[in-house]
Structure 1
Amino acid sequence: MGTCPAITWVNTAVLAWPGGSLFICLASALAGGDPLSMQLRATDFQAAYRACRPFRLPHHSGSLLRGALGRALRRVACHAASLTASPPCAADCAEPRRCTYTRLFDPLPPEPSPHPFVRGQTRAPQPLLPLFPPPGARHLAPHDSLPFKIRLRLLGPTHPGDTDVLFTALEAFDVIPLGREGVCLRLESAAQIGPRAHRIGLDPPPSSTVHRVRITFDTPAWLERGDSLAVDLDFRFLFRSIYRRLTVLAALYGTPEPDDDARFQRLDALAAQVRTGATSLRRAGWKRRSTRRGTHEMQGLLGEISFDGPLTAFVPILRLAEAIHIGKATSFGLGRITVDAHGAPAPGGAA
């Protein structure tokens, strides 16, 4: 485990990159400035497609595209089918602890549980994070000037054969019918973007005190209080939600740091001092249809929200949230955000 250099006067963040892992130091000016130090890695893939005939993507296309991706992955990565040359499992996986499809797309929590946040869960967040288009109907045609692109982010280490499985699944889109029209997407190109286990989400630390951030919800963010959509967001609630997701992902697919739970308490107290500013958040609701489980209600928040206050210590974790998404149903492309941080000159020119 790496260490953070000494903190002088200001909340800051220091990034190292040991052995291909993401080493995050979130330094707080509270109680000596103990940093968070959990680790994550990721590998990105991108595929470009042409529609085999004119086709209109729905306004919220994540459900449709995720369904196609799941069927393609099941087709090429079902463990039972690979052993018996039989069709892939039609329902629940017959070999969930050994199946590449289940591990990437519908994982079970490991045993024993790696963190209290994971304990008691029947399903774990999938490591395969799709970066689907933001809401908005889009028309696809075979002769479009630009291809239609899908990007995938695989969190954690890659297992032997994962890259081949993902490329084969992306190619299989041309035999997976989309929507009621049964349109196919023909693969034009597919590639790994950047190195394996690359750094995700953290820019160099801010060289000035950050007193305002504006967060844009590019795809609907499904954040809940109790069983209801959290419409009136405050920063402390948002920070807790991001921290919980990051902790779970680090426990499952990265390297958690046991002391971070205690360090969280100091950042949580600081988060309570941040005020909510201008907001244009609005609720979005729609239905997704599943051939296996029927119709389901989907929801989330779109728009922008600003926060004001002592935000420097939170910039690194907000940047990481840009890369891992926030809230529920991230496997459908939900919860993608963009963070704009505003600073002021540091006292005495300190960095």
Structure 2
Amino acid sequence: MLSEFKAAKFRFTIVAREEMVLPAFKGSMLRGGFGHVFKKACCVSKQGDCASCLIKTSCPYAYVFEPSPPDSARHFSSNENLPRPYVFEPPLDDQKHFNVGDVLRFNLVLIGKAIDYLPYFIFALKELGEIGIGREWAKYRLSLVEAIDVFTDEGTPIFDERDGSLSDDKKIINASTYLDGMNRLPEDKVLVNFLSPTRIKFDKRWLFDEIPFVGLIQSLTTRLNNLNTYFCGGAWNNELRTLRDWATCVGILSTDIRKHSVARYSSRQEKKDSLSGVIGQVLYAGDLKTFYPILMLGQVVHVGKGCVFGCGRYEVN
């Protein structure tokens, strides 16, 4: 399953050139500011709507920010949104004030073909520093970009502001990346630690009080199947549905989650939106070995609504 799936994770280090006042949860700010600069850098036609653009199939912005399923797609209607092939991971702390010279680090996950567009992401985030972020549009400089090892969290520099060159040392994550790690996990219980607001919809309702294992697996398999099919060149895998049936046999030993409220304003839609979800831990018990590949890859791509902003981030222990 998911044999064609691939992703890569990068850490960006920015340094404040002016005093910055930022929101506690920085995912929406990073994604929103980046999106405007990215479109300005890529858009040739300068029209507002990507759907009617003649060159949308070859445009990096349309591919990354406004992807649409091909006419031959059987699993999406033409007006349904695809998941985006990237994830911003803002820092988990809630620091709001940054003085000149202070450092802010965040991660970026790219999936499938979007990995090839890394230079566009670096260029746009570098340009965003000249425009500014936060309430006062504070400027920053992009100091360093590193390729991340998902096991050690160690970074290999691939871009340094001192010379401006970009190396090709990406650390690709695929379906076999976690094989050794999975063998060290117990087969009968697993602790899932939701680190950022996680909002999962299951059985037509949002899960704020309890997250049944089948709800978690259904959300993960749907997301991974879509990403693998439309951005990694893989085939839609109906066998993943079988995992949902098996997931009903996994129960909850303990739950310690709470709702975490986060609001954002969408300038494109001109309305307020919610990124609220749960954070905390859930201990699941049952026959779990079959689910570990999905759970481990989910750590990379996140789960639920608002993944591009950094929501749905979790760790498995």
Superposed counterparts of 1:21-170, under 5 Å: 36-80=1-45, 88-89=46-47, 91-93=48-50, 94=53, 95-113=55-73, 115-116=74-75, 118-134=76-92, 136-144=94-102, 147-158=103-114, 162-170=117-125
Shift of the alpha carbon at 1:304? 0.8
Shift of the alpha carbon at 1:39? 2.5
How far apart in 1 are the matches of 2:202 and 2:35? Answer: 29
Conservation of the 8 A alpha-carbon contact between 1:157 and 1:197: no
Change (3 A) 1:164 1:230: same
Moved more, 307-316 or 118-127: 118-127
How far apart in 2 are the matches of 1:327 and 1:224? Answer: 7
**Structure 1 portions without partners, runs of 5+:** 1-35, 81-87, 341-351
Moved more, 41-50 or 314-323: 41-50
Alignment match, 2:188: 211
Q: Compute the RMSD of aligned alpha carbons.
A: 2.4
Alignment match, 1:251: 229
Change (3 A) 1:263 1:123: closer
Conservation of the 8 A alpha-carbon contact between 1:41 and 1:197: no
The partner residue of 1:321 within 298, 305, 309 is 298
| CA deviation string 1:153-212 (max 9, x = no partner) | 21103586x233222112112223323212122211234456447124624141575111
Q: Percent identity?
A: 24
Conservation of the 8 A alpha-carbon contact between 2:21 and 2:134: no
The partner residue of 1:308 within 267, 275, 285 is 285
| CA deviation string 1:111-146 (max 9, x = no partner) | 221x52x345532111122122226233222233xx
Alignment match, 1:299: 276
Change (3 A) 1:230 1:135: farther
Alignment match, 1:28: none
Shift of the alpha carbon at 1:226? 5.6
Answer yes or no: is 1:237 the counterpart of 2:215: yes
Conservation of the 8 A alpha-carbon contact between 1:39 and 1:255: yes
SS of equivalent to 1:157: helix
Shift of the alpha carbon at 1:299? 1.7
Alignment match, 1:172: 127
Shift of the alpha carbon at 1:323? 0.8
How far apart in 2 are the matches of 1:319 and 1:159? Answer: 20
SS of equivalent to 2:238: helix
SS of equivalent to 2:264: strand
Conservation of the 8 A alpha-carbon contact between 1:38 and 1:255: no
Change (3 A) 1:120 1:77: closer
Q: Which residue identity is paired with 2:172?
A: H
The 4+ residue runs of structure 1 with deviation greater than 3 A are 191-197, 225-228, 255-258
How far apart in 1 are the matches of 2:33 and 2:185? Answer: 45
Q: Which residue identity is paired with 2:215?
A: F
Give the TM-score normalised by structure 2: 0.82
How far apart in 2 are the matches of 1:159 and 1:45? Answer: 10
User: Number of matched residues?
Assistant: 290
How far apart in 2 are the matches of 1:337 and 1:208? Answer: 16
Conservation of the 8 A alpha-carbon contact between 2:266 and 2:272: yes
How far apart in 2 are the matches of 1:126 and 1:157? Answer: 11
The partner residue of 2:310 within 328, 333, 337 is 333
Q: Which residue identity is paired with 1:219?
A: S
Alignment match, 1:183: 138
Change (3 A) 1:197 1:111: farther
Conservation of the 8 A alpha-carbon contact between 1:68 and 1:176: no
Change (3 A) 1:209 1:135: closer
Shift of the alpha carbon at 1:280? 1.2
Alignment match, 2:172: 198
How far apart in 2 are the matches of 1:141 and 1:120? Answer: 47
Which structure is larger by alpha-carbon Rg, 1 or 2? Answer: 1
Change (3 A) 1:143 1:304: same
Shift of the alpha carbon at 1:62? 1.0
Alignment match, 1:23: none
The partner residue of 2:250 within 274, 285, 288 is 274
Conservation of the 8 A alpha-carbon contact between 2:86 and 2:114: no
Shift of the alpha carbon at 1:324? 1.0
Shift of the alpha carbon at 1:298? 2.6
Change (3 A) 1:189 1:156: same
SS of equivalent to 1:42: strand
Conservation of the 8 A alpha-carbon contact between 1:217 and 1:304: yes
